[in-house]
Structure 1
Amino acid sequence: MAMNRRDNDLQRVFTRRALLLGTAQLGLFGALIGRLYYLQVMESDKYTLLAEENRINMRLLSPRRGRVLDRFGVELASNRRNYRVMIVAEQTRNVDATLEALSNLIQVDDTQRARVKREIERRRKFVPVVVAENLSWDDFAKVNLHSPDLPGVQLDVGETRDYPYTTTFSHVVGYVGAVAENELGEDPLLELPGFRIGKSGVEKVYDEQLRGRAGHSQMEVNAYGRAIRELARHNGQQGDDVVLTIDADLQRFAMERLGEESGAAVVMDIHTGDILALASNPGYDPNWFNVGITGPQWRQLNTDKYKPLTNKAIQGQYPPGSTFKMLVGLAALEAGAMTPETRVFCQGHMDFGNNTFHCWKKGGHGSMNMASGLEESCDVYFYETARRTGVDKIAEMAKRLGLGNLSGIDLTGERRGLIPTRAWKQAVLGQPWAQGENLVIGIGQGYVTATPLQLAVMTARLANGGYAVQPRIVRTDDALGPATDQRPASQRWPSIGLKREQLDIALEGMIRVTSPPRGTAAGARIMQAQYAMAGKTGSSQVRRISRLERETRVRKNEEKPWEERDHALFVAFAPVSAPRYACAVIIEHGGSGSKAAAPVARDILLETQKLDPSRRPRSAPGPTTASGQPATRKEGG
């Protein structure tokens, strides 16, 4: 009986424990089933998306960069095919052997090999690494022919920037280069390997407009990230074209006319402000920066005494010399310090205090008024004119004519030059203005400096009747061909406040400069009457001439070392009968403005008038390439 009771108790305990265990198991399985239901039903969309993203890789695609065109549609910067050779490490047993075999077909130097090995070590073995790019078609075809014997080598055809005119437009168009770390922004395009952005010139100023919008490609990949196949592709939006005011034919002529000289030339429409040529010589090949400039090339550009990387037209700051004299004369007339007929006798020098200020003509010019002073560029006349007027009045006139201020032209690195005043010297140098410095300013020397672009603007404002024309280098209307708006400057720009009768004195002097027998540039005049030009010569010293050198004339300017010679300048407008174009030329260390700069300006102005880019219709039916072949222009560009 006692045994049966104990057995029954044990049975009840076992049953109770079994029930508890069963209940716990049932609860556990219920929770598991609930979790599975939640994950597979409630969260189905979420995990389906995650699985899909693990299988599909979205990749950005670089858009085609917009072109840079001249005013008639000629391509100054475009895109060309980029033939590349790459290597996939997992597809070759010996990378070194493959690179050695490849070097027998194309150039693969030690630097390239080291770079390829570094990239292979950093990347997964199936990711292609670029060995060489921008290959010629012959080299690309050669590698393609031998590709069966080159395990792991892949061939690819992409796009890269191309500058067909090389040095001719280097300072205007600029160049593109790889994105630096400090240039990374919110645009994901900037993080793409090999992506290029504008680094200088129009390429930099209009970079966002030119670069376009990224496309994308959907790639199916495996668990290791290896591409299996492309599922979809959207090529994105090509960058917009940028149309310049430049005439490619005139720019090419200006560069050729500068020849071997270091200098600059600017041609400007005096009514619209269009810059028709902006030449800085020597230039550089912007393609070097796009494909990757080499150490020797970089050293060559940086050690060249002619400074090919400097855009002399907007960055070169030079004493304007005698090209400044029209401005000085106008300031004197407006201030009442001189009249057009006020006479100054030039005996070859002027004594002021303890100093003697010399005229360029040793024997002197005799009695001069304002027009004859400009005609023969008499220094003594303008010493006296500046002495009576004062630097502040001269500075005020200079600012109105466009000197001492940035023009706002859409190019990088423009310099403002310097127009001194009494307050400027006291604030910057901590010294009072000396009366003798007025005389030096009167002939465009001393502290005063200007860029060739500023001198062209000054000349344009004189020639258009005294209106504040502003230069531009990009066609904001995006139209090809001549300007459709042919209104004169008086209907476009505000007046700078010059009286017509005073302005006519300065213009008469410029006309007489290119007229025989006494004009300083008479020998460089344009002989055809319908193309006749008016202008002003200038020579500016780069070092002070000692009394001994002046008295003994030990060496002529052309016999001095190049760096010690005077700069040669010339400003002009044409045609005299109905002015339309202004031009400024500087030949660095060229010596005489009449001998070195005036003939260059004459030839450029004559060519400008024959081409007549402000009114010439486009000869081709559409945009053309550098070779003259018609090119396709995208809508809206």
Structure 2
Amino acid sequence: MDSAFLSRIRIIVIAFCIFFVYAVILIRLWAIQVYKGEEIQEKVSRQYVRNIRIPAVRGRIFTADGVMLAGNTASYEILFHISEMRRPGKRSRTVRHVLDEANRLAAAIGRAPALTQKDINHHMNYYPGLPMTIFKELTSTELAKAYELSPGIQGMEIATSPQRIYPQGKCAGPLIGYIGREDPRSAVDRQNYFYYIPDTVGRAGLELAYDTWNPAGIRHDVTLSENTSDPELPKEQRALLRGFPGKKLVIVDSRGFVSETVGAEIPAENGKDLVLTLDFRAQKIAESLLANVTGALVLLDASNGDILAMASNPSYDPALFIPRITIAEYSKLRNDPSKPLFNRAYQGAFSPGSIVKPLIGISLLENGYSAAETVYCEGFVKVGGHPINCWIKADGHGEVTLNDAIAVSCNAYFIENGLKLGVERLAATFKSAGIGSKTGFILNDSPGRLPDRKHKKRWTAFDTALISIGQGDILVSPLQAAVYTAAIATNGTLWRPNILKTIVAPGGAAVYTEHAQATGHLAASPQTLEIIRKGMYLSVNSDIGGSKRARNEAIDLSGKTGTAEVGPRSTRYKNTWFTGFGTHNGKTYAIAILVEHGVSGGKTCAPLAAEFFNRWLGSQKEQAAVSR
């Protein structure tokens, strides 16, 4: 085979390859221009109308005296408009350029690089016409450096967005609760919006309870202004703290880029503000008194159930959840043995000890016993062969009447008379005081535990003796104790504990004002209540009173201490209590204080009550010392 023949073969092969390539190109061009020309032209010219969701600014939370507990501040973030950063050629060149600029920016402001090629590709695939968030929550230093660099980065924008703040730190933290981000709930949400900017929503505490307006679900007795009185109103008019999002319609071309806005933007309806019943100074003082102990303090306006202070310790700072708490941080909080997420004031249920003795006194008087009848206390009582000591073990209290027994907290008196009454009649009085039922508080409070024979296979006299001194099959929350103490202080009415004063619209108009609601009545006559109040007065104000350390210079208190032994003998500790009431400048207040692992109610909690009222209602100098 000569070389000329081989050359001809090569030329033929090359010519065929060239012809084949041109043929493929011509066929492809024919398909594009003729066969699919109309379809492709339609895709090129096709435009879509899409929704962009605009979240609302969350409503604020204030105390009754105007101190902000939860609010919003401007948070600065850096955005890249990738449509303005495109590079000619392959898409990967644009991705590389965006990544390089992001890394250059990170180095300039002192942050670690946070962007990856995968992030950029994802954004370009799904949101090509919308800005991409590169960095959030810039500090003032980072912001200054970013402004210096921004002229040199085409497509960079420094934008602001609202961020939740808690200016008072941990103050009322377990009561206020915390928020989280609510991402689209379903594929439908994502389909309905071209760009879904999520809300911040309540996850716990008042942030959750008042997240949205729900008259039927959370209101017991509503008096609403005209524009919010109908529970059937659409949800955008019932938005509360969360508000209601707005939207704008945009035209998006086939490449995903926004070409224009259609019509007027529908602005978001910002959340409404809450004004609480809390007194800021009272709350701060209460928290300072509990700073080194585990416990709770509740202060009520006894005339209507308004909560003036509700403190629980240990607690937490709601700012930990802003913008998002890490799994590790949340696990640390949740698994902390001191339970900072647990609000002892209303979620806890504790053995009450002697703070229920006034209720047992009510049961005695309402069942025909005379306040003048006496019991001889020799320091202990034998029940079923088992001795139960009075707290004075040596000589006992001697002959005591009901008022004496309340004043000195005589176990023997209440055990002997409690056995005569029996568990059913005792439980009936406890039930009338709200024990065993939720109080009606807007948050999910503990019902406590009402004694009942059904709780044990065999109920004995010893069990009845224990509940007669606030031990055994009875549990009470500090909030419940404050509620029934307020009832004793006034006319026997149990008021629903209320934390809300008014709801204020963004324009400043009050759209709702809360009103007091009675939830029950102590099974006690006015004469019975007067006798019980006298015993509680003696407990604080007589020299032999068990609550005498609650005496103070600011308010004339009546009260009752309690000490309850908890747990098995090997690890036994004491829950200590003080409940009381007093009138100052025409207002009657009821207080309940619990300290876990205390010494006794008289030595641990009564002094806290005295200090609380001295500081809260005391001199102007002390008032000024509690800074806002």
Q: Name the TM tier (shorter chain).
A: 0.7 to 0.9
Task: Check 1:494–1:303 CA distance in 2 against 1; reply closer, same or farther (3 A cut).
Answer: closer
Q: Show CA shifts across 1:453-503 (max 9, x none).
A: 0000010000012122221111258699xxxx9x9x9x9786534122222
Cα distance in 2 for residues equivalent to 1:382 and 1:135: 64
Match of residue 155 from structure 1 = 158
1:212 Cα deviation from its structure 2 partner: 2.0
Per the TM alignment, residue 106 of structure 1 is displaced from its structure 2 partner at its CA by 5.0
Aligned in 2, Cα 1:569/1:494: closer, same or farther, shift over 3 Å?
closer
Distance 1:52 1:521 in 2: 85
1:270–1:543 distance in 2 versus 1, CA, 3 Å: same
Task: State the partner residue of 1:257.
Answer: 289
Partner of 2:207: 203
CA deviations on 1:249-285 (whole Å, 9 max, x unpaired) are 2212211221222211111011111111111122212
Give runs of aligned pairs for residues 500-579 of structure 1, distance below 5 A: 500-528=526-554, 531-545=555-569, 564-575=572-583
Q: CA 1:345–1:107 in 2, change beyond 3 Å: closer, same or farther?
A: farther
- 2:14 equivalent in structure 1: none
Once residues 539 and 183 of structure 1 are traced to their aligned partners in structure 2, the CA distance between those partners, rounded to angstroms, is 52
Q: 1:82 to 1:525 in 2, by over 3 A?
A: same
Q: Tell me the equivalent position of 2:55.
A: 62
Contact 2:484 2:494 in 1 (8 A): no
TM-score by length of 1: 0.76
Task: For 1:141-152, list aligned pairs within 5 A.
Answer: 141-148=144-151
Judging changes above 3 Å, is the alpha-carbon distance between structure 1 residues 150 and 538 closer, same or farther for their aligned structure 2 residues? farther
CA distance in 2, matches of 1:526, 1:545: 36
1:3-36 Cα shifts (integer Å, max 9, x gaps): xxxxxxxxxxxxxxxxxxxxxxxxxxxxxxxxxx
Q: Could you tell me how far 1:74 is from its partner in structure 2?
A: 2.6
Change (3 A) 1:138 1:449: same
1:524, CA displacement in angstroms? 3.1
Preserved CA contact (<8 Å) 1:62 1:189: no
Equivalence for 1:331: 363
The equivalent residue for 1:221 is 252
| Residues 493 and 253 of structure 1: CA distance in aligned 2, closer, same or farther (over 3 Å) | same
Q: Which has the larger displacement, 165-174 or 431-440?
A: 165-174
Question: SS state of the match for residue 527, structure 1?
Answer: coil
In the TM superposition, 1:21-100 aligns within 5 A as 54=47, 56-87=49-80, 93-94=96-97, 97-100=100-103
Amino acid in structure 1 at the alignment position of 2:323: V
After superposition, residues 331-480 of structure 1 pair within 5 angstroms as: 331-336=363-368, 338-363=369-394, 364-411=396-443, 413-422=444-453, 424-425=454-455, 429=456, 431-475=457-501
Deviation at residue 190 of structure 1 after TM alignment: 14
Tell me, in whole angstroms, the C-alpha distance in 1 between the residues paired with 2:417 and 2:186: 52
Deviations 1:383-426 (A, max 9, x none): 11211111111111112112211111112x3111101122x32x
Does the 8 A contact of 1:92 with 1:151 survive in 2?
A: no
Q: Deviations over 1:339-360 (max 9, x none)?
A: 2122222222111123111122
Which residue in 1 is equivalent to 2:275? 243
Q: Which residue of 2 aligns with 1:33?
A: none
Q: Structure 1 residue 309 and structure 2 residue 317: aligned?
A: no
Point out the more displaced range, 98-107 or 72-81. Answer: 98-107
Change in 2 beyond 3 A, CA 1:577/1:459 = farther
Deviation (angstroms), 1:533: 0.8
Structure 2 residue identity aligned to 1:471: P
List alignment gaps of at least 5 residues for structure 2.
Answer: 1-41, 87-93, 213-239, 621-625
Secondary structure in structure 1 of the residue aligned to 2:594: strand
The structure in which a higher percent of residues are strand is 2
Distance 1:60 1:478 in 2: 25
Q: Cα–Cα, structure 1 residues 332 and 117, in superposed 2: closer, same or farther, change >3 Å?
A: farther
Aligned partner (choices 123, 137, 142) of residue 139 of structure 1: 142
Please state whether the residue corresponding to 2:197 is helix, strand or coil.
coil
Deviations, residues 595-630 of structure 1 (Å, cap 9, x unaligned): 221122223334454599xxxxxxxxxxxxx997xx
Identity %: 30
Structure 1 residue aligned with 2:243 = 212
The residue number in structure 1 matching 2:524 is 498
1:376, distance to aligned residue in structure 2 (A): 1.1
The amino acid of 1:64's aligned partner reads V
Q: Distance in 2 between matches of 1:349 and 1:577?
A: 43
CA distance in structure 1 between the partners assigned to 2:342 and 2:250 by the alignment: 46
Q: In terms of mean alpha carbon deviation, does 389-398 or 72-81 score higher?
A: 72-81
1:431-460, Cα deviation, whole Å (9 max, x unpaired):
132111011001111121111100000100
1:574/1:605 contact within 8 Å kept: no
After TM superposition, the structure 1 stretch with the greater mean CA deviation from structure 2, 159-168 or 90-99, is 90-99
Tell me by how many angstroms 1:76 deviates: 1.9
Whether 1:596 aligns to 2:589 is no
Gaps of 5+ in 1: 1-47, 547-562, 613-625, 629-637
- The answer to whether the aligner puts 1:178 opposite 2:192 as a matched pair is no
Q: Secondary structure at the match of 2:241?
A: helix
CA distance in 1, matches of 2:333, 2:416: 44
CA distance in 1, matches of 2:481, 2:342: 18
**1:186 Cα offset (Å):** 8.4
Contact kept? 2:272, 2:504, Cα under 8 Å: no
Aligned-pair CA distance for 1:295 = 3.8
SS where residue 146 of structure 1 aligns? helix
Instruction: State how far apart, in whole Å, the 2-side matches of 1:276 and 1:457 are.
Output: 13
Alpha-carbon separation, structure 1, partners of 2:187 and 2:561: 48
Q: Secondary structure at the residue paired with 2:136?
A: strand
Opposite residue 582 of structure 2, the aligned amino acid is A
CA separation of 1:325 and 1:192: change in aligned 2, threshold 3 A: farther
Which SS does the other structure have where 1:566 is aligned?
strand
Query: Is the CA contact 1:184–1:190 (under 8 Å) kept in the aligned structure 2?
Result: no
- Tell me, yes or no, if the aligned pair for 2:48 and 2:251 is still in contact at 8 Å: yes
In the alignment, residue 377 of structure 2 is paired with which amino acid? Answer: C
Matched letter for residue 329 of structure 2: Q
Amino acid at match of 2:538: R
Deviation at 1:590, TM superposition (A): 2.0
How many residues of Structure 1 are paired with residues of Structure 2 in the alignment?
Answer: 536
Q: For residues 52 and 452 of structure 1, what CA distance do their matches in structure 2 show?
A: 69
Structure 2 distance, partners of 1:189, 1:71, is 40
Conserved in 1, the CA contact under 8 Å of 2:299 and 2:310?
A: yes
CA–CA separation in structure 2 for the residues paired with 1:521 and 1:582 = 15
* Aligned partner (choices 307, 318, 341) of residue 350 of structure 2: 318
